[in-house]
Amino acid sequence: YACANCGTSFPELEPRVFSFNSPYGACPDCGGLGTTKEVNGALLLADPSLSILEGAIIPWGEPGGHLRRSVIPGLATAYEFDPATPWRDLPSEAQRAILDGSGRMRIKFPYKTGKMTGSYEDKWEGVVANVERRYRETTSEHVREQLEQYMSSQTCAACDGSRLGPFARSVRIGGRPISQVVDQSIGDVLGFMETVRVKGEKLPRGVKAAPGDPLPAQVAGPILKEVRERLGFLKNVGLEYLSLSRSADTLSGGESQRIRLATQIGSRLVGVLYILDEPSIGLHQRDNHRLLETLESLRDLGNSVLVVEHDEDTIRAADHVVDLGPGAGRAGGEVVAQGTVDSIAAEPRSITGAYLRGEREIATPGDRRPVDPDKRLVLRGASEHNLQDVDASFPLSCFIAVTGVSGSGKSTLVNETLYRALSRHFYRSRIVPGRHSRIDGIELVDKVIEVDQSPIGRTPRSNPATYTGLFTPVRQMFANLPEAQIRGYPAGRFSFNVKGGRCESCQGDGLVKIEMHFLPDVYVPCDVCRGRRYNRETLEVYYKGKNIADVLEMTVDEALEFFDAVPQIKRRLQTLSDVGLGYIHLGQSATTLSGGEAQRIKLSAELSKQATGRTMYILDEPTTGLHFEDVRILLDVLHRLVDRGNTVVVIEHNLQVVKTADWIIDLGPEGGDGGGRIVVEGTPEEVAQDVESYTGKFLAPLLSVARAG
């Protein structure tokens, strides 16, 4: 194809032309990534109180050689500054020239070679251009990795982040290119697709047709029908706020699962067993009923749907419930009850049943902590993603819940903006926070900690005892035993991480890795130490009839009784028990712990530290994967942190958590472009009375609050 006017030729329009994964469709400048790596000037600078001679410019370090003898004196003379002056006090023109170069201006650089001295004139390329050139020209991966620490991803200037080449960006349907369509939310794309016409099709009354001629019915009709149906499925599982161009690695586990669910609904298979692990994760109560309707439609097609869930609405909607327990770990593993919801509620041994029949509950606080107007952290002008210049107030020494429908901007506000900004302030983090103008009251906080559900370690060597610091006093106690003293064993002898006391066959892992090449690696018990981690000599030292390997095999509750007379060890064990982890083993591999267990181990470690009372803890949906009883225990822990004067901020959909908060920041009212503003903030009772708040609508019955209208 070629344009009759300018002669520009186009390739034949095939699906691959519109795919950034194909060389035919990808933007030639960024290779279909939508971003390019560019040097970020802010990442080149260390402490601004340092001079360039002291290492203010990180790639230079403390400059010597050619830099110190020639480059710096030449720049200092040309731009009239003292190289010993702190970076922040240098003239802005000098700062710009050092980083960005001298442009057309030629600078006289002195030199000394042996006994010869003189000068030469040349343009100065600048630190930024120097790093970019070295990155572009090097063939060393090591050098490339070093230089990447000064770079950040920037939107590709050629394709403006669309990832597509110029031909794909030129084709339009309904007046819009494909890049514009996929950047919209699923809800908006569905609305647009309803306006696209095919020949002979009548649009619903009130729907205005998109610009352009109707599409040929024979070709476009079936495709348009399929697109509308699939977009409808995605909307029905609560994902209308996502854009079609959203990167898969930015999706939560719940979002990914619901996308796969929508795909299965579209396939309309029959006689299939679907297994879903907590599909309600990340869903607001408003969207939960639509998910349940989707699951019921799968069932009604003739399929079986098996769901692992803690959500009360999902449990009550089930045709058949299987309740496992009665406890966790060794105290569980039995089918306590199965049948209808009523039969589960009637089972006296079932903890789930106790909550379903109202015998147990998560209590609403009688008195909430007072909010001091002079003790607030205020994030001003937050405008990343869909946030609309938000000013969010976080009262300190309170338990704060950030709520809102999926996609309303909660994670952007708290994780991407507040947490990153505080991390940069306290720890000089290199991660760039979301756009905002400033944070007021930051001097009232001395550190920020994100307690997430990521693993406490990624190898069998990591375990609760090592993570919490509990293992250090245990090893020291074994080293102080008479038998260890006679043998000259130091505390390090009882560590499975160093040579001496560990089994060298497995190097203290207790497991041996077998590489399966095209399959995941398999770990099997070491055939020398039989999984005990230590050599025979180390295991001959006993305390109260137990050696170090026996201690690692104990559960927290067993160890609490065993070390009852050792206060330093007992205190750390007590915090693990207090967060509901009495059933886990001290030496249990980190790879076998659930996300909720890992999170509570981190909280336990925080509880055992000396409190400053000025820490802000941030948790993103901490009740994911937790039973009603586990939620109650977790809330006790979080409120203990607040009672010490700390501030706890949780992003949460679980109303049992939200109702116990001292302060709620409710974002919305919708997801995507329809959200990004604060609908209401205040106490749970105040939020429940707000007629615009979806959270308030579902919170009101729990608090017995009347709503206007």
In the chain, CATH 1.10.8.280 sits at: 39-153
> Three-class SS string for 518-569?
CCCCEEEECCCCCCCCECCCHHHCCECCECHHHHHHCEHHHHHHHCCCCHHH
- For residues 123-143, b (16+ Cβ closer than 10 Å) or e, as one string? ebebbbebbbeebeeeeeeee
pLDDT of residue 559: 96
What is d(CA 376, CA 590) in angstroms, rounded to the nearest whole number?
A: 37
CB 436 within 8 A of CB 380: yes
Q: What confidence tens digit (pLDDT) does each residue in 619-636 have?
A: 988 888 889 998 998 899
In the chain, CATH 1.20.1580.10 sits at: 464-592
In the chain, CATH 3.40.50.300 sits at: 256-356, 376-454+600-703
pLDDT of residue 592: 85
* Strand 663-668 with 399-404, pairing: parallel
CATH number for the domain running over 256-356: 3.40.50.300
What are the Cα distances from residue 367, in Å, to 364, 393, 684, 698?
9, 21, 12, 21
List the structure tokens of 368.
Answer: 């909430």
Please give the backbone phi and psi of residue 250, each rounded to the nearest 5 degrees, phi first.
-100, 0
- Residue numbers of the chain with a pLDDT score lower than 70: 1, 253-254, 705-709
Q: From start to end of 94-221, where are the E strands?
A: 106-113, 116-123, 151-155, 172-173, 176-177
Helix (H, G, I), strand (E, B) or coil at 606: helix
Q: Length of the chain in residues, anyone?
A: 709
What is d(CA 45, CA 55) in angstroms, rounded to the nearest whole number?
A: 9
What is d(CA 620, CA 649) in angstroms, rounded to the nearest whole number?
A: 8
CATH number for the domain running over 464-592: 1.20.1580.10
Where do we find the tokens 């809330």? 635
pLDDT of residue 455: 87
pLDDT of residue 707: 58
Fold of 376-454+600-703: Rossmann fold (3.40.50)
pLDDT of residue 253: 67
List the structure tokens of 212.
Answer: 């352009």
What are the Cα distances from residue 19, in Å, to 3, 25, 76, 163, 189?
23, 5, 51, 9, 18
The CATH number corresponding to 39-153 among 3.20.20.70, 1.10.8.280, 3.50.50.60, 3.30.300.210 equals 1.10.8.280
Consecutive H or E run containing 351: helix 351-356
pLDDT of residue 669: 93
State whether the Cα torsion 27-29-32-36 is positive or negative.
negative
pLDDT of residue 7: 76
Give this prediction's pTM: 0.76
What is d(CA 554, CA 562) in angstroms, rounded to the nearest whole number?
A: 9
